[in-house]
Structure 1
Amino acid sequence: MATRRMEQTQESRRLILAAAVELFAEKGYRQTSFVDIADKAGISRGSIPWHFGNKLGLLEEVLDDQLQSVLAGSPPGAHPADSLDQVMRFIRLPATRLFTTLLSEAVDVDSPIREHYARLHAALRQAARARWPSEALPAGTDPEAFAVLLVGAVIGVHAQWRVAPEAVDLQAVQAALRALFPAALEQT
């Protein structure tokens, strides 16, 4: 009996997270309510605070879950060319849509999600530094500045691609990245 209850709890949690990811990506954090999430997940509204405490707790779990999913797809120590492929895959991920949508809310000084989003960016920059350590970058390139540039480029390219996919050739973007950072991308 306890095992069945644990399975139901895990399934309810999974459904809530999946619904929240989709709705936060579509409507943003502020415009998404517990009612919206409960309706989409097919669960009772009271289950959400029981699992996550409050809406910020849910957001934190969503961001952590999506970040771990993204990072699991690009292991440290991967060949730099593989890392560029990972960057291009990241541009296409549903998680990137979530990150991009939330960015518009996080830039407000009074935003309740600002701190959470800052931690997300810090984790993405850390992942970039792990993929491209200083010795893999052109001489004189600051690894932190490169990480900031890369994270900004990915989010910016994703936003442009979502808004006008016919105007953004992702293969050309990949070729441009390879041309701009040949030393970093040709290291073995």
Structure 2
Amino acid sequence: MTTRREQTSGESRELILAAAAELFANKGYRQTTFADVAERSKISRGSIPWHFGSKEGLLLAVLERSVQLVDASLDNLPDQGGEAELDHLVKSLEDLFARPTTKLFVTLLVEALEPDSPIHDRYVAIHETLRGHCRRWLDRSAPAGVSTEALAVAIVGAAIGIHQQWLVAPDRVDIRQSLAALRALIAGIVSATGI
């Protein structure tokens, strides 16, 4: 049974994570301070290191939570394969990209590429999660002789590229139309190969 103190601690932790994710996405990791997170979350500044140890610990927890949210948003794909599942996959990506905190993945990408980056493995996990959802659909749909892994890499790369272009120039990139075009390309590959 959870005590009131444990419940309050869990609630505080979630408020801190949500505030930090938003701030890291909007200001960047390096420009965000514990004071910023405390002000946004309405939780005392001293609680942040108590929960996460350090700013790096907070960042790793934010990214771990983000991986879980990505997984949960894509996890309820129907198992019937085909067009309906492809439609659901594309709609799930559109919903995911519309979340303000998804910008966090783009904001922190350069830091993830640095040698010995503490967030490198989290980015590997994020991409693996996205590819895993694509592979699940492709495993039921891909033709013989086509690497589902390579096709999943291409689909995820295209989707991430669409998201990044939209973040940089939202007035020039229509994310809904762009994802619909990606869906049409995938469907074309599927139908051309007799899936």
Kindly provide the CA deviation profile for residues 5-31 of structure 1, in whole angstroms up to 9, marking residues without a partner as x: 223212211110111110111122232
Q: Does the alignment pair 1:115 with 2:121?
A: yes
Q: In the alignment, what sits opposite 1:18?
A: 18
How far apart, CA to CA, are the structure 2 residues paired with 1:168 and 1:156? Answer: 11
How far apart, CA to CA, are the structure 2 residues paired with 1:150 and 1:164? Answer: 21
Higher deviation after alignment, 51-60 or 154-163:
51-60
TM-score w.r.t. the length of structure 2 is 0.81
Residues 155/122 of structure 1: CA separation in 2 closer, same or farther (3 Å cut):
same
How far apart, CA to CA, are the structure 2 residues paired with 1:76 and 1:156? Answer: 22
Kindly provide the CA deviation profile for residues 63-119 of structure 1, in whole angstroms up to 9, marking residues without a partner as x: 222222222222244422211221222232224211111112212224332232222
Letter in 2 for 1:96: T
Kindly provide the CA deviation profile for residues 22-75 of structure 1, in whole angstroms up to 9, marking residues without a partner as x: 011112223222222122212222211211222233222212222222222222
Whether the 8 Å contact between 1:90 and 1:154 is mirrored in structure 2 is no
- Any stretches of 5+ residues in structure 2 without a counterpart? 80-84
Structure 1 residue 137: deviation in Å?
2.6
Q: Does the alignment pair 1:86 with 2:111?
A: no
- Any stretches of 5+ residues in structure 1 without a counterpart? none
| Structure-to-structure mapping, 1:154-169, within 5 angstroms | 154-169=159-174
Question: Could you tell me which of 150, 157, 172 is aligned with 1:152?
Answer: 157
Higher deviation after alignment, 177-186 or 141-150:
177-186
| Structure-to-structure mapping, 1:27-106, within 5 angstroms | 27-74=27-74, 75-78=76-79, 79-106=85-112
Q: Does the alignment pair 1:137 with 2:173?
A: no
Kindly provide the CA deviation profile for residues 147-180 of structure 1, in whole angstroms up to 9, marking residues without a partner as x: 2222222222111111211211223313321331
How far apart, CA to CA, are the structure 1 residues paired with 2:138 and 2:154? Answer: 12
Structure 1 residue 142: deviation in Å?
1.6
TM-score w.r.t. the length of structure 1 is 0.84
May I ask how many residue pairs the two structures share in their alignment? 186
Q: In the alignment, what sits opposite 2:186?
A: 181
